[in-house]
Chains A and B, each alone.
Chain A
């Protein structure tokens, strides 16, 4: 057998029907666990809400999974509460850090800015973000967002000078709107349902409310 040389020489080793396809299990590092979330910014409050269903494929894994969380670490390191715009940048950086193997999660950030006005930031999976008056993400967002647009009509981000995006609604009205919106989304989105968890942030502090949703 002639010696084998890489490069311009032709090699004459014989490999009878040798296929170099490595057998791979079709494994994905990602799973879609479904769910929807919404946030609405008001003049002196912010409402953040998400359903508590976790699914995979056509199964429900659990009906009681909280998708809303609060961050304490900044407070421990900087000895002050983290402002909303600061956390917004942190989340964006965290997501972009994994730009080439993304966190497959669609986020909405809500809270109060330094003046006590509500602020909502909305994200894509790799960290692109925007300050808005309201937003929804997740499997039900296609159903929820148009309805929020209709009720809360946001000013265009292209306008100059920038117009205030916070809604003129009162806190109770915004909460009612969120509940309505989730009840509707649960009707048509299979991944949304079970229970709604609302977190309301205002000058008095943070409070949680729960509402039952359709379980089917």
Chain B
């Protein structure tokens, strides 16, 4: 028996020499075969923040219409807010294709609900719960829907505003935001939101938030929609732009008075 250590690896698959390389390759193959069990992907076309708040008559929600492909602004008319059934409004940030998939799931949910034809209809709380279950179960399989969702609605006079993240963290509050909105819009809302905002005040507050996001979030675009949901139903505005001001004197000659390179 020749016990001399061989220079060639005993087992060589496709030129992969170490055990860990071979294991990784086989795992990748299996993962591709099984489709998605070990398959946390990354997002391709993404939407940025959604901001929403409760006001006197219901919920107001705002989102811009951009769909970014990495750092390219690829799509400029993406509707990231959609009505769901009679009582709810869904806004999403993150992967647009996953949002479209979620809309298909909800379509089926609402369809089956309507087919009962029993006079009852799914309210925002129920839709939010359904979405939470879907998101959490996908996360458990390491194959998340790469979205942060905002679900708002009014049913029987009760206002509801909740959010679900891609790992299934969910809660409801008087105002919510996704992505950069958490950092830039929530502080504004914490300071200025109060019960029973009028429609005009609510819109003004949302626009203030969206303007901050426009100035400071590089994936934001100046084309947004504001949606309103009340007991009477959903209205989504036509796309419009915010007025911006870029003439602040401090930005005119930013290096003036600087000592050194800052």
Contact = CB atoms under 8 A, between A and B. Distances in A.
A25 B142 contact: no
Interface residues of A, number: 33
B169 A31 contact: yes
Nearest to A7: B11
B12 A31 contact: no
Given A62-B171, A65-B171, A29 B24 contact: no
Given A20-B25, A61-B171, A62-B171, A25 B13 contact: no
A78 interface: no
Contacts of B21: 20
Contacts of B14: 4, 11, 13, 15
B182 interface: yes
A126 interface: no
Interface string A23-64: 111011111010000000000000000000010100101111
Q: Is the interface of A mostly helix, strand, loop or mixed?
A: loop
Contacts of A18: 15
Interface of B: 8, 10-16, 21, 24-25, 28, 40-42, 139-140, 142, 144, 165, 167, 169, 171-173, 182-183, 186
Given A18-B15, A30-B167, A62-B173, 16 more contacts: A6-B13, A7-B11, A8-B10, A8-B11, A11-B14, A11-B15, A15-B14, A20-B28, A24-B42, A54-B171, A59-B183, A61-B169, A61-B173, A62-B172, A63-B173, A101-B140
Interface of A: 4, 6-15, 18, 20-25, 27-31, 33, 54, 56, 59, 61-65, 101
